[in-house]
Amino acid sequence: MSSIITSLPLTSLIQQLRSGELRSVEVTTTYLDAIADRDAALGAFVHVDREDALQQAADADARRSAGQANGLLAGVPVAIKDVLCVTGQPATCASRMLKGFVPPYDATAITKLKQAGAVLVGRTNMDEFAMGSSGENSAFGPTRNPWDPERIPGGSSSGSAVAVAARLAPLALGSDTGGSIRQPASLCGIVGLKPTYGRVSRYGLIAYASSLDQIGPFATDVVGAAILLEAISGHDPRDSTSVNLPVPAHSQSVDQPLAGLRIGVPVEHFAEGLDAEVERTVREALAVYKSLGAELKEIHLPHTKYAVATYYLIATSEASSNLARYDGVHYGHRAEEFGGSLISMYEASRGEGFGDEVKRRIMLGVFALSAGYADKYYTKALQVRRLIRGDFDAAFQEVDVIAGPVTPTAAFKLGEKTSDPLSMYLSDIYTISANLAGIPGISIPCGFTSTGLPIGLQLQAAPFEEERLLRVARMFERETEWHLRQPASTL
């Protein structure tokens, strides 16, 4: 029965909970048991409070039995990336720096989940402070890909992607600063969506790069992602970047196909560095759209070649500023031994608390913002960022969505790129532009390599066009069965 429950599409799970065929306690117990049985080999979770999760589930069942109003996700377990604040739960960002920190408040996305009736089943592993593309930069140890535990699952939302792919949770929240939802979704064979910047409140999201970060959903299918996105979206006066726009009823519109669909295929996303097997699989996915009547149009995003450099100047600059607060004074790690000065305490505490990749990015950011260099690097990067957004604005005058690969390759082996940061950074080459431009993007399963590793198709749309993006993604999903495949350990 447990494998039957964990294999249910979200819509079926919700329907059976609403009808009383299933109870939330039964569903939550099933997923908690799966975590206990299988997560030791995967490292997807960093905190699970079984008693609290079962109490949430019992409360959901009690509300339903009493005939009280139930939300969109009533009784449904959801895993939470360890970068979102939840009252009474540790929030470490997978870092020694925040060991023991327990937030006294909920992030807005968490508040909305609770209002929707969701059961918070656990907190997921990640690259430290969301800085990484592989899931290897965690103080708790690496997360492993359920399709091949010797390979990376992608990052930084590694644990959330693995939790959903391994059927340890039906849904999960992640954050995406340069591809951190879409990239692991692609490498783990599930759906991951980065909303438009401002669509989902960032209040209570521990910041990496404030102008790039965005919270979004993981699910096994497009409909599940649509439902979770609907639940967490909306204006929040506590986030000055939150946009006051109506939240579309994604759960109602996602199955409506689009006629006269125009899909842009950027030449720059099929250039040198793209694995041949990934390219062939993505082009086969585009052929499915063509068979459905869509027009495929070659387009250019000419400033794509500057995206990696632009991103790693802006993101690291903002990170160096955001992470300056971790000084061993107010909260977080403080070194036990240091010299007699305040500066030596700062140095010792930050030196012990942060991992190598976080230190690397802080140093890059400090340099890019330093006197004499800020105009040459950071300001110039902001100007190029505007040009990248201009490329997308021009493209969306001609096409409805843009399609291409998510990553240059399928999942690589653990440790393969840890000594080569530049090679690691290039893993995000197709995803970072969406964050720089603030547009929505989604990764959907579109095939597998000859060795059985998942490959994703990326779709991008104009700002606040998530409804269109989801409908286009669902069109492909209805015609294929890639999203139905599960890792062998889950069957």
Cα 3 to the chain's mean position, in Å? 25
Domain assignment present for 72: yes
Residue whose pair of structure tokens reads 């967490």 in the numeric block: 232
The percent of residues above 90 in pLDDT, for the chain, comes to: 94
**What's residue 188's pLDDT?**
98
Query: Per the structure block, which two tokens stand in for 167?
Result: 């059927």
Domain assignment present for 382: no
- Between 110-119, 232-241, 310-319, 339-348, the lowest mean confidence (pLDDT) is in 339-348
Domain assignment present for 108: yes
Banded model confidence at residue 426, pLDDT cuts 50, 70, 90 = confident
**What's residue 448's pLDDT?**
98
Domain assignment present for 50: yes
Q: What is the mean pLDDT of residues 323-330?
A: 91
Residue 330 near residue 402, CB atoms below 8 Å: no
- Between 27-41, 114-128, 181-195, 421-435, the lowest mean confidence (pLDDT) is in 421-435
Is residue 450 among the annotated active site residues?
A: no
Is residue 180 among the annotated active site residues?
A: yes
Point out the catalytic residue in the list 24, 81, 112, 320.
81
- Between 31-35, 414-418, 471-475, the lowest mean confidence (pLDDT) is in 414-418
DSSP codes joined into one string, 396-410: TTT-SEEEEESSSSS
Residue 160 near residue 79, CB atoms below 8 Å: yes
CATH code (residue 94): 3.90.1300.10
Domain assignment present for 319: no
Domain assignment present for 348: no
**What's residue 489's pLDDT?**
84
Give the angle 191-411-312 at the CA atoms, nearest 5°. 85
Point out the catalytic residue in the list 24, 95, 134, 156.
156
The rounded mean pLDDT for the chain is 96
Point out the catalytic residue in the list 160, 175, 180, 251.
180
pLDDT at residue 491 is higher than 80: no
Residue 363 near residue 317, CB atoms below 8 Å: no
Residue 282 near residue 406, CB atoms below 8 Å: no
**What's residue 419's pLDDT?**
85
**What's residue 1's pLDDT?**
58
pLDDT at residue 373 is higher than 70: yes
- Between 244-253, 362-371, 415-424, 435-444, the lowest mean confidence (pLDDT) is in 415-424
Banded model confidence at residue 69, pLDDT cuts 50, 70, 90 = confident
Domain assignment present for 79: yes
Q: Could you list the residue range(s) of the whole structural domain that residue 211 is in?
A: 2-257+462-490
pLDDT of 266-303, one tens digit each? 999 999 999 999 999 999 999 999 999 999 999 999 99
pLDDT at residue 111 is higher than 70: yes
**What's residue 423's pLDDT?**
86
Instruction: Provide the domain count of the chain.
Output: 1
Q: Is 246 exposed, middle or buried (0-12, 13-18, 19+ CB in 10 A)?
A: exposed
**What's residue 370's pLDDT?**
95
Domain assignment present for 237: yes
Residue whose pair of structure tokens reads 């790069």 in the numeric block: 209
Q: What is the mean pLDDT of residues 400-414?
A: 98
Banded model confidence at residue 171, pLDDT cuts 50, 70, 90 = very high
Residue 470 near residue 196, CB atoms below 8 Å: no
Is residue 305 among the annotated active site residues?
A: no
- Directed axis angle between helix 356-369 and helix 307-322, to 10°? 100
Q: What is the mean pLDDT of residues 350-372?
A: 96
Query: Per the structure block, which two tokens stand in for 337?
Result: 């031994």
In angstroms, the CA 214 to CA 210 distance is: 9
Banded model confidence at residue 331, pLDDT cuts 50, 70, 90 = confident
pLDDT at residue 436 is higher than 70: yes
Residue 141 near residue 107, CB atoms below 8 Å: no
